[in-house]
Structure 1
Amino acid sequence: MGKPSAFSFTAAAPELPNAELQALSNSKGPSVVAVWRETRPGARFPLGPRETDWHSHLRGQLFCVVSGLIHVRTRHGSWMLPPNRAGWIPPGEPHSASIAGAMSGWMVFVAPKASHQLPDRPCVISVNALTSQLVQRVAMGTEQRSQQPQHRRIAAVLLDELCRSPQEPLHLPMPRDRRLLRIARAFISEPGDRRTLVQWAEWAGMSSRTLSRLFMADLQVSFAQWCQQARLVHALERLAEGEAVASVSDALGYATPSNFISMFRRSLGQSPRRYVAALRTLEH
C-alpha cells in the first residue's frame, strides 16, 4: 500500500451534487447528509467503475454499495465492500478507493461532532433494510427541509441505526513492522503463494517463531488467519469482475474449488456462486 499523497477533491467535484460538495467542505449544517447515487440511464449523479487517489474529508463518511464492489485502502490496511455493507471513514482519515462493476449505492456524511458515536478507525458494518430506507428518506431532503424537525428526527434515527450496526470481518490490516510489511506486500502481490510460515520466515531472514510472535503482537491475528483474509479480499474483487469460481480458486492456490468454497462460506455465510448471483441480480 502506497503512502497517502496530496488530498484533493477537484477530480471528483464536478460529478457531485451540491449537498455532497457542502458535506465534504463544511462541518456546519445538518449533522447527517445523505446522497443516493445510481447507474440507471439518465441518472443525474451516476456511479460506475473508477479509482480515486488518496484524499480525506472534513466529515466522517459512510458509503454502501447496493451492487458492485469497492476496494478501500487506508493507512490501517484495506478492505472490500460487497453489497449491503457500509464502509466507515472517520473525519480526516486518508483513504483511496477503486470501484469494480456496475454500481449503485449511497453515501452519508457525518459532522465531526456526531462522528464520535461511531468507531475511531475505518471499518465495515452490516446494513439492513431499515437503514437503506432511512438513507433514501434523508437523501430526498432539500437544504431547506434538512432544517425541519421531522427531517432531523429521521436523520437522528439513521445515525442511531448506523451506530448499532455490527462490524464485519472484511478488513485486511497491514503490519507496521517493516519486516512483516515486506512479507505482507509480497503475499498480496501473489495471493496464490503457498509458502509455509517457515518458508516465509526464512525469506524474511527470521525464525518462524519470531514471525509468528511478531505477527500476533502487531495485528492480533495469526499469520495463517491474515493470509486467508488476504485471499478472501482478493477473491471478492475477482468474482465481482466476473471471473469463474474455479479460476479464482486456482489463482489463490487452493487444491480444489471445494476447498475455496468452504473457506468462502465460513467467512461470508454463503457460497461464491450465491454471492455472484446476488450481485448480478442487484445490478439488474
Structure 2
Amino acid sequence: MFTDKGNWIVPAQRAIWVPANIGHEMHMHGAVTMLNTFIEHESAMLAALPPYCQVYGVSALLRHLFDAMLALPNGMSARRARLESILLDELSGMPRLPLSVPLPQDPRLSKACRRMLDAPTQTISIDAMAKLANMSRRAFTRLFREATGVSFVVWRQQVCVLEALSRLSQGGSVKDVSADLGYSSTSAFSATFKLLLGDAPVRYLARYRELTLSSDASS
C-alpha cells in the first residue's frame, strides 16, 4: 500500500490501519480476499489506533470476532454491541509490525525514492540516487535523513527487505530473491532480513505459513 508519506507491506493474515481522510493506493499480488472494517473516530480512539497508517499482527480471537460480526444480520443488536466492545478491546492489543518505509515529502527526493520502489535493489548507490534527485551527494544525504529520520543506506535496506518479504510470501526462493535484489550472497541477505524482522527468512516464513494454515483450518 502507498500513500504520499510511505509504503507498507501487508502479508496474508495481517492487517493495516488506514485513518480516515488519508488517500492511499493498494497493489495486490495474486488472488486476494480482503476484509474492510470501517471504524468511527471515537471507537478508533478507544482502540488506541494511531493517526497514521500501521501494519498489525492479527490474533486468532480477532479473526473469530470478525467472522462473528459478519454472520450477524444487519442492524444494531445487543449481541452486536457486545461483540464490537470485545473487538475494540482486542484491536487495542494488536502487535505493531515494522513493515513500512517512509517516503520523503520533498518532490526531488520523492521522485528518486519512487524510482527505487519501482525496482528495489541493494546495489543502487547514494551517488546514483543523488543524481536522480538532481542534488549533490552532500545535499542528498543531509536532506534525506532530515526527511525520513534514517540514512539512505538504512532506508534502502528496509525497502529491499520488505520487497523480499512480499516475494518470499508468494513462493520465491531465498536464493533467487536475494540475487534479484542485488545482495552479494544469501547469507548477507539473511543477516539483513533478521536484523529488521527478528528472524532469518526461512524461520520467518515457516511461522508465517504455520499461522496461515492454522487460520485456514479454523475458518
In the superposition, the TM-score normalised over structure 1's length comes to 0.65
Q: Which whole-Å CA distance do the structure 2 matches of 1:204 and 1:228 have between them? A: 19
Equivalent pair of 1:250/1:257 in contact (CA under 8 Å): yes
Measured at CA, do residues 105 and 189 of structure 1 come closer, stay the same or move farther in structure 2, by a change above 3 Å? closer
- Which residue of 70, 73, 77 maps to 1:147? 77
Partner of 2:65: 134
SS of equivalent residue, structure 1 residue 87:
strand
- The residue type paired with residue 178 of structure 1 is P
Letter in 2 for 1:97: M
Structure 1 position 102, deviation (Å): 4.4
Q: Which position in structure 1 is the counterpart of 2:191?
A: 262
More helix by share: 2
One of 19, 26, 29 as aligned partner of 1:97:
26
Unaligned stretches of 5+ residues in structure 2: none
Q: Percent of counterpart pairs with the same letter?
A: 33
What is the root-mean-square deviation in Å for CA atoms of aligned residues? 2.4
Distance 1:96 1:179, change over 3 A: closer
| Cα separation, 2, equivalents of 1:138 and 1:78 | 30
What residue is the counterpart of 2:109 in the other structure? 180
- Mapped pair 1:106 → 2:38: no
Cα displacement (A) at 1:110: 0.9
1:199 to 1:73, Cα distance in 2 relative to 1, 3 A = closer
What do the CA deviations read for 1:204-242 (whole angstroms, capped 9, x no partner)?
443333222211211122211211111122112222332
Of 58, 77, 94, the match for 1:165:
94
Aligned with 1:93: secondary structure? coil
Unaligned runs of 5+ in 1: 1-71
Give the deviation of 1:169 after TM superposition: 1.4
Using CA pairs below 8 Å that are at least 6 residues apart, which structure has the higher relative contact order? 2
CA distance in 1, matches of 2:27, 2:134: 34
Question: What is the rounded CA distance, in whole Å, between the counterparts of 1:97 and 1:128 in structure 2?
Answer: 23
| Change beyond 3 A, Cα 1:276–1:166 | closer
Q: Deviations over 1:86-125 (max 9, x none)?
A: 1011123222222224445633221244234421122112
Letter in 1 for 2:165: L
SS of the counterpart of 2:96?
coil
Match of 2:164 in 1: 235
- Cα distance in 1 for partners of 2:21, 2:34 equals 22
* TM, length-normalised to structure 2: 0.83
Tell me, yes or no, if the aligned pair for 1:249 and 1:256 is still in contact at 8 Å: yes
2:189 aligned partner, one-letter code: F
**1:125 alignment partner in structure 2:** 56
- Could you list the per-position Cα deviations for residues 49-92 of structure 1 after superposition, in whole angstroms to 9, with x for gaps in the alignment? xxxxxxxxxxxxxxxxxxxxxxx122322211113321011123
Letter in 1 for 2:72: G
Partner of 1:190: 119
What is the number of equivalent residue pairs in this alignment?
A: 211
Q: Which has the higher strand share?
A: 1
- The answer to whether the aligner puts 1:209 opposite 2:144 as a matched pair is no
